[in-house]
Amino acid sequence: MNDFLCPKCKDHLRVGDHIIFKVKNNEKKTALLLLNPQIGNYTSTKHPSFIIKEGEFLEFYCPLCGASLKSDIHENLALVLMNDEKGNRYAVYFSQIAGEHSTYKTTDDAVHMEGEDAGRYTYFRVGDRFKRYF
């Protein structure tokens, strides 16, 4: 089972089969959004009163410490940390644009891309070195 951690407080964002985030839309409405912990699976769960429009920017926050998860690589990409069952550690970047399927699982010197829109952020070049978060 992969664990997901906030890059700021390092607390656990995964509960059961969901990663839990707080999100905020352009109208400053906030909600909890549950994502699938399987990389490349873009199903999500939310309360029906929170409407997400295709192409809308949602800012992701840690529900524990309240920090914005916006990455320093691109404002559209959020960052979480992942530990897999073998003890490997990754920085995982994903798009905060609703409906945009781009996820990048990175280690020090490698990036693994997932999602049909992953080519949009082409400044991710295989072989780039990524910052250590652990």
Binding site for Zn ion (CB under 5 A): 6, 8-9, 62, 64-65, 67
Burial 12-30 (b: 16+ CB within 10 A, else e): ebbeeebbbbbbebeeeee
Comparison of 66 and 119: residue with beta carbon closer to Zn ion: 66
Question: How many residues are listed for the chain in this entry?
Answer: 134
Nearest distance from residue 117's CB to Zn ion, in Å? 26
Distance between CA atoms of 43 and 108, rounded to whole angstroms? 28
Q: How far is the CB of 54 from Zn ion (least distance, A)?
A: 28
Minimum CB separation of residue 87 from Zn ion in Å reads 22
State the DSSP string of 50-91: S---TT-B-EEE-TTT--B-B-SS-TTEEEEEEE-TTS-EEE
User: Of the two residues 40 and 63, which places its CB atom closer to Zn ion in the complex?
Assistant: 63
Q: Find the shortest distance in angstroms from Cβ 64 to Zn ion.
A: 5
C-beta of 96 vs 100, nearer to Zn ion = 96
- When the beta carbons of 8 and 89 are compared against Zn ion, the nearer one is 8
